Structure 1
Amino acid sequence: MKKTTLTCLALSSISFAAHAQSSVTLYGIVDAGLGYTSGQRVAQTKGAAGKPIVYSNASNYAFASGTWSGDRWGIKGTEDLGDGLSAVFQLENGFNIGTGQLGQGSREFGRQAWMGLSSTKFGKLTLGRQYDPIVDFVGTISAGTFLTGMGAHPGDLDNIDNQSRENNSIKYTSTDFAGFRFGALYGFGNQAGSVKNQSTWSLGGQYAHGPFAIGAAYMLANNTYGANGGAWTGAYDGTFASSINEGFASAENQRIIAAASTYQIGPVTLGVSYSNTQYKAGSFSLFNGKETFNSAGLTVAYQATPALRLAAGYDYTRGSSINGGSAPKYNQFNFASYYFLSKRTALYGLVGYQKASGKTLDAFGNLVNATASVGDVGNGISSASNAQTLVRVGIRQTF
């Protein structure tokens, strides 16, 4: 009788284990190299309203961390709950391999931190700090795929290169319908007395079939109305860390419409991208009305051999005239080469050049000359002049 009971218990435990299978994966990327920047602004005076900061310009030779891909390590897991339903989670930490410092504002899991449920029938619902649909559906087929963050639209002001994440958010992503997927996100501002303040909402979709892919998304991020305008500490991280748009961080809200498409012809992949980024002023903003930036880009990538890939791109960004000044304009050129030593390890070389013209606002709302800032802020550092060149060489390994 005892043997029969033990046998039943053993079979029951085996049956349960088979039903509730789970897995946890540790993964990461380490990316390091050397870089040259032709011009990096250095403040010589303090600034204020009516008194712009005086900058000097200096070239910079430096250690470069996370140029191709931001350095990271993460843990992700899934547990099978049966009938196509799974519990899922992902925790991802960003860091600087040169100093060991945490990234994304020194957050422990600043890149991603979410959990939720995934269904093969109904899609995935997740909660936490996560990417918005612009990143999911546009960023995955944008210039950054071939040119890294150095090829992002100037300053990554449209967040296509995932500079910003959404805190306190809930996101739904659909299953695949014959190549089409869609999703939506809402980020809670967690502001007492207001549902709208510092909240974010976004939606988008992507269609991919054979050599063709196209994606589009929309996002609206609300700032705190009132004296705290410019904080951007609620759902949305913000994208105001470069000279491209730092003068509009006090906006009441930010609206982004973005789209991208790729088409593969043998070893060649062609890509186009477009975004419209608008900042609307509020009562406490340092500018009036609206400021709009339109960005468009072209990319071409060539898989010369199984190990060697070459890519080039051009971006043009134009802002609307502000406070009577001439409209800011940015022309950017990028070149990239990758040599894969193995599936996990590769060498790379990147070059970016940008020329700026027109007038924009500084962080204090002063009308100033537009200055260059190549790519996203993770790779680029704003210049004090209207032209800038960046060069990066390095090695990248995944695990």
Structure 2
Amino acid sequence: MKKRILVAAVLGSIGVAAHAQSSVTLYGLIDAGVSYVNNAKTASGQSGSLVKYDDGVAQGSRWGIKGSEDLGGGLKAIFTLENGFNSGNGTLSQNGREFGRQAFVGLSKDGAGSLTFGRQYSLSTDVLGSFTTGSNTVAGNYAFHINDIDQLTSSRIDNSVKFSSANFAGVTFGALYGFSNQAGAFAGAPSTGSGATAVAGSARTYSFGANYAAGPVSVGAAYTDIRYPGQQLGITTAISNVSAPANIKELRTFGLGGRYLMGPAAFWALWTNTRLVQMPGTGPSALVFSAYEAGAKYSFTPALTAGLGYTYMHLADAATGHFNQVDLSLDYALSKRTDVYVLGIYQKASGNNGNVPLQAQIGDSTSFFGPSGSGSQQQFATRVGIRHKF
């Protein structure tokens, strides 16, 4: 009897030890609310007011699974599968992909870093995204720059291999390469033909970046180059009536950012420069988009935080124009996992594309407010929302 008890105890301890060497975590969040915009482009191309249920503004709604297995000697196998969805109608986001936000597997080593394979964020998102009003406040996706052209929040790269370093005295760095996966087109290719003769295009991406964080200060820089970005699902390059994704041969974006924490306050600043190289025969050779952003937030209490951001965006070469945007937000935490918020965004555009005035375009207007652009040179949006994390 004693031997049976001893054997059972030993086997039980082995099971516990094996379980302790690996872990799987289910996580997610849901962001929902009601938004109003004064100028949204209608189906006929005119401008009208819009009140709508809006999902995924402060953060995109998602659920995911992530895990790791201890392989010994500081080496671990890691994976993440992350799904994006719309809480308003239950549909999948990211063009209907099951795990459109992230899907990767790889290895990590203590003191060295990780090497992962799959659909992953570029270094522009990893490094520069943390220096934006969109990520530091509940203004979220309304505060990110027009259609995320500079790849700060939704730069998800298919078929990619990525290295992310460990922390070396506050310094982290990384690099990513996204394969075209098309024979004879290692550097990517546009779509050709139509109907039975149609050949799908492919994108090629490389990206690298570095960040330094010590105490209250953090600074970072990143560069991303995407050949044929219109072929990379989830990458949008349209700016109102100026450019279309199918006309872009290459997207090159570089940025510098920093953040400073001071007690209950935080301050940040960011500059990005993005060059869209046009396909031959589709118009001017290039479009240059520059963004200058600064912001701050202050926690009046552990539960109540106010945020303010200002962004100046400038177009040059193919079109000349300016966009000035102000973001205001107020967030109240009901608990560690649930908060309610209100925000207001105003943008004014000026300049022309040829003889056509540029249009105001808050965030990704294609997703939030109908067809690309507002049909007006001014756009104001406000929202009340609730966010729950699990």
Q: One fold, TM greater than 0.5?
A: yes
Structure 2 residue 338 is matched with structure 1 residue 345 = yes
In the alignment, residue 188 of structure 1 is paired with which amino acid? Answer: F
Pairwise CA distance, 1:240: 2.4
* Unaligned ranges ≥5, structure 2: 189-202
Q: Per the alignment, do residues 96 and 387 of structure 1 end up closer, same or farther by CA in structure 2, a change over 3 Å counting?
A: same
Q: CA RMSD in A?
A: 2.2
1:191 aligned residue (136, 161, 182): 182
Could you report, residue by residue, the CA deviation over 1:156-206 in whole angstroms, capped at 9, with x for unpaired residues? 21011x223100101000000111100100000112112111210000011
In the alignment, residue 133 of structure 1 is paired with which amino acid? Answer: L
Take 2:8 and 2:249, find their aligned partners in 1: how far apart are those partners?
Answer: 62
In the alignment, residue 152 of structure 1 is paired with which amino acid? Answer: F
Q: Per the alignment, do residues 95 and 333 of structure 1 end up closer, same or farther by CA in structure 2, a change over 3 Å counting?
A: same
Say which SS state the counterpart of residue 124 (structure 2) adopts: helix
1:82 maps to 72
Does the 8 Å CA contact 2:132/2:293 hold for their aligned counterparts?
Answer: no
1:376 maps to 364
Take 2:78 and 2:349, find their aligned partners in 1: how far apart are those partners?
Answer: 45
In the alignment, residue 291 of structure 2 is paired with which amino acid? Answer: S
Structure 2 residue 155 is matched with structure 1 residue 167 = no
In the alignment, residue 148 of structure 2 is paired with which amino acid? Answer: D
* Identity across matched positions, percent: 39
Q: Per the alignment, do residues 368 and 355 of structure 1 end up closer, same or farther by CA in structure 2, a change over 3 Å counting?
A: same
Q: Which moved more, 1:367-376 or 1:249-258?
A: 367-376
Take 1:212 and 1:244, find their aligned partners in 2: how far apart are those partners?
Answer: 39
Structure 2 residue 272 is matched with structure 1 residue 275 = yes
Take 2:248 and 2:362, find their aligned partners in 1: how far apart are those partners?
Answer: 23
Say which SS state the counterpart of residue 328 (structure 1) adopts: strand
Say which SS state the counterpart of residue 320 (structure 1) adopts: strand
* Unaligned ranges ≥5, structure 1: 45-54, 224-229, 362-366
1:18 maps to 17
Pairwise CA distance, 1:300: 1.0
2:260 maps to 263
Take 1:244 and 1:71, find their aligned partners in 2: how far apart are those partners?
Answer: 29
In the alignment, residue 264 of structure 1 is paired with which amino acid? Answer: L
Structure 2 residue 273 is matched with structure 1 residue 290 = no
Could you report, residue by residue, the CA deviation over 1:214-260 in whole angstroms, capped at 9, with x for unpaired residues? 1110000001xxxxxx7424xx6322255176436412111000121
Q: Per the alignment, do residues 379 and 42 of structure 1 end up closer, same or farther by CA in structure 2, a change over 3 Å counting?
A: closer
Structure 2 residue 36 is matched with structure 1 residue 40 = no
TM-score (norm 1): 0.87
Does the 8 Å CA contact 1:27/1:73 hold for their aligned counterparts?
Answer: yes
Structure 2 residue 174 is matched with structure 1 residue 178 = no
Structure 2 residue 105 is matched with structure 1 residue 106 = no
TM-score (norm 2): 0.89
How many residues of Structure 1 are paired with residues of Structure 2 in the alignment? 369
Pairwise CA distance, 1:376: 3.5
Q: Which moved more, 1:368-377 or 1:59-68?
A: 368-377
- 1:1-399, aligned counterparts within 5 Å? 11=10, 14-15=13-14, 18=17, 21-44=21-44, 55-144=45-134, 145-146=136-137, 147-160=139-152, 162-197=153-188, 198-223=203-228, 231-233=230-232, 237-243=234-240, 246-247=243-244, 249-283=246-280, 286-322=282-318, 327-360=320-353, 368-377=356-365, 378-379=367-368, 381=370, 382-399=373-390
Take 1:359 and 1:183, find their aligned partners in 2: how far apart are those partners?
Answer: 39
